[in-house]
Amino acid sequence: MPDRFDLPAGFRWGVATAAYQIEGAVDEDGRGPSVWDTFCARPGAVRDGHTGAVACDHYHRWPEDIALMKDLGLDGYRFSLAWPRVQPTGTGPANPAGLAFYDRLVDALLAAGITPLPTLFHWDLPQALEDRGGWLNRDTAHRFADYAALAADRLGDRVPAWITLNEPFVHTVFGYALGIHAPGRALMFEALPAAHHQLLAHGLAATLLHDRGLDVLLSNNLTPVHPATPTPADLAAAHAYDTLHNRLFTDPVLLGRYPDLTPLGVPDDIYGAVHPGDLDLIHTPGLDGLGVNFYNPTRVAAPTDPALPFDLVDIPDVPHTTFGWPVVPEALTTLLLHLRDTYGTALPPLTITENGCSTPEPLDDPARITYLATHLDALATATTQGIDVRGYYTWSLLDNFEWAEGYHQRFGLVHVDFETQRRTPRASYAWYRRLIVAHRAPHAR
Ligand code: IFM
């Protein structure tokens, strides 16, 4: 009789990374500039002026990194393709050297017994496309489809499943609404056409990937949303935040419609961005999996600034990571059950495509082990209630470039000394390896 901590036989254990956060080599082999190269050069944009120019030097050290993955006993590796490596200006023919890099990577992963799970877009838009409006320009969705076809035609014979986008919520809000990520635009709600165009890009790419017989996933950053108090004002604020963070990026894909955007004060056609027929393109009834990136729940209160629909407030009396994020593992169970309640039969199988935490410890990282263990238990609890979760990819294999935080937040199972590029597995690495062998959630408490 399986107990609550067993996981399904085919459940995949993985780690996740992203191109700009680990590759470096930004000027090599014909790679074009990305919005993140530009943003990092802007004074004050990234903490201490850090950049991804070298990052983990994975572009040169990938054999060592795959050896670390093989030693972990991974089933899968989620990474992203750098669009400006494949298409330096975001249009036109592929850069042969760029595709060749991913070709080598995929072959080496397969030789190590690891299934590659590439993400096509993890925020490093070619700068040339940003110069034409970036994701605010509808044409970027069509350029993305062309790029997806180039990548799939080269790698699709060995790569069975593809993630189109990573966290369009974070890219839209941090990059276009608040300006704290690249491309650094602070348009508030007028950023939302960038969300629609990313979803359109997902839909166009999903169609052509499916036409090639490939599986398609979308990775969304999802969070259970709780009102700070049961007052009507806090409830309304929580509803508005849930609309923005979760439903705006999942409803159109799974249900073929946007949620009611009234709580955000945004017109239904998202400032004219939504054209007739778009939702048919975005709706992906045959989506093969929803990628869930989960870090923490969110507590929301009525706004103190009447120009905004909500305030985000801290969750007291729980541990926090070095990033200051609250640690509430049972919220993962809540989220997975809520997804089933919300989407019912429209919900495809789930994969946790990111989960992890930043910790202060150099090598001994008990806080990371506790975080991962308790979240895996929360995942297993959801599976015993019938939620179909196919795999778990922890963020991240290596300490890496954590966007506006530079190298200050360390998420790796493997410590990286950014002076020497020396990799040293942490205690959590050995722990995760044992867990993969045992193939069950750890029953941490
Ligand atoms: O590092 C990021 C990743 O790029 C996207 N999801 C969240 C991670 C931690 O902030």
333 in ligand 1 pocket by Cβ < 6 Å? Answer: no
> For 75-98, what is the mean pLDDT?
98
Question: 319 C-alpha vs ligand 1 centroid, how far in Å?
Answer: 19
377 in ligand 1 pocket by Cβ < 6 Å? Answer: no
- Tell me what pLDDT residue 433 has: 98
Do you find a cis peptide bond into 80, omega within 30 degrees of 0?
Answer: no
- Cα distances from 260 to residues 249, 277, 312, in angstroms, run 13, 18, 21
- Dmax of the chain from CA atoms? 59
**Is 354 annotated as catalytic?**
yes
Question: 368 C-alpha vs ligand 1 centroid, how far in Å?
Answer: 15
One-letter amino acid at 125 equals: L
> For 416-438, what is the mean pLDDT?
97
Q: Give the domain extent around 73.
A: 12-439
Question: 397 C-alpha vs ligand 1 centroid, how far in Å?
Answer: 12
- Tell me what pLDDT residue 362 has: 87
Q: What is the CATH number of the domain that holds 224?
A: 3.20.20.80
pLDDT in tens, 28-51: 999 999 999 999 999 999 999 999
Question: 232 C-alpha vs ligand 1 centroid, how far in Å?
Answer: 33
> For 311-329, what is the mean pLDDT?
98
- Tell me what pLDDT residue 2 has: 47
**Is 402 annotated as catalytic?**
no
Question: 2 C-alpha vs ligand 1 centroid, how far in Å?
Answer: 33
Burial class (CB in 10 A: 0-12, 13-18, 19+), 219: buried
3-state helix/strand/coil string of the chain: CCCCCECCCCCEEEEECCHHHHCCCCCCCCCCCEHHHHHHCCCCCCHHHCCCCCCCCHHHHHHHHHHHHHHHCCCEEEEECCHHHHCCCCCCCCCHHHHHHHHHHHHHHHHCCCEEEEEEECCCCEHHHHCCCHHHCCHHHHHHHHHHHHHHHHHCCCCCEEEEEECHHHHHHHHHHCCCCCCCCCCHHHHHHHHHHHHHHHHHHHHHHHHCCCEEEEEEECCCEEECCCCHHHHHHHHHHHHHHHHHHHHHHHHCCCCCCHHHCCCCCCCCCCCCCHHHHHCCCCCCEEEEECCCCEEEECCCCCCCCCEEECCCCCCECCCCCECCCHHHHHHHHHHHHHHHHHCCCEEEEECCCCCCCCCCCHHHHHHHHHHHHHHHHHHHCCCCEEEEEEECCECCCCHHHCCCCCCCCEEEECCCCEEEECHHHHHHHHHHHHCECCCCC
- Tell me what pLDDT residue 5 has: 75
Residue 1 maps to a domain? no
Average pLDDT, the chain: 97
pLDDT in tens, 121-163: 999 999 999 999 999 999 999 999 999 999 999 999 999 999 9
The pair of structure tokens assigned to 396 is: 């991240």
Q: pTM higher than 0.85 for the full model?
A: yes
Mutate which of 22, 180, 354 for ligand 1 pocket (most atoms within 8 A of beta carbon): 354
167 in ligand 1 pocket by Cβ < 6 Å? Answer: yes
19 in ligand 1 pocket by Cβ < 6 Å? Answer: no
User: Taking 80 as the threshold, does the pLDDT of residue 207 lie above it?
Assistant: yes
Q: Work out which ligand 1 atom sits closest to the CA atom of 356.
A: 9
Mutate which of 36, 79, 402 for ligand 1 pocket (most atoms within 8 A of beta carbon): 402
> For 65-89, what is the mean pLDDT?
98
User: Taking 50 as the threshold, does the pLDDT of residue 1 lie above it?
Assistant: no
Residue 267 maps to a domain? yes
Residue 2 maps to a domain? no
Residue 70 maps to a domain? yes
Percent of the chain with pLDDT over 90: 95
Report which protein residue has its CA nearest ligand 1's atom 10.
Answer: 402
pLDDT in tens, 267-312: 999 999 999 999 999 999 999 999 999 999 999 999 999 889 999 9
Report which protein residue has its CA nearest ligand 1's atom 2.
Answer: 402
402 in ligand 1 pocket by Cβ < 6 Å? Answer: yes
User: Taking 70 as the threshold, does the pLDDT of residue 245 lie above it?
Assistant: yes
pLDDT in tens, 337-388: 999 999 999 999 999 999 999 998 789 999 999 999 999 999 999 999 999 9
Under the banding of pLDDT at 50, 70 and 90, the label for residue 3 is low
> For 164-174, what is the mean pLDDT?
99
Beta-carbon contacts of residue 117 (< 8 Å; ≥ 6 apart)? 14, 76, 77, 78, 79, 159, 161, 162, 163, 353, 393
124 in ligand 1 pocket by Cβ < 6 Å? Answer: no
- Tell me what pLDDT residue 4 has: 63
Residue 3 maps to a domain? no
- Tell me what pLDDT residue 8 has: 87
119 in ligand 1 pocket by Cβ < 6 Å? Answer: no
Residue 235 maps to a domain? yes
Residue 7 maps to a domain? no
Residue 105 maps to a domain? yes
> For 382-407, what is the mean pLDDT?
97
293 in ligand 1 pocket by Cβ < 6 Å? Answer: yes
User: In the chain, how many domains are there?
Assistant: 1
> For 185-190, what is the mean pLDDT?
98
Single out the catalytic residue among 23, 130, 167, 402. Answer: 167
- Tell me what pLDDT residue 6 has: 79
Question: 275 C-alpha vs ligand 1 centroid, how far in Å?
Answer: 31
User: Taking 90 as the threshold, does the pLDDT of residue 445 lie above it?
Assistant: no
Report which protein residue has its CA nearest ligand 1's atom 9.
Answer: 402
Question: 402 C-alpha vs ligand 1 centroid, how far in Å?
Answer: 7
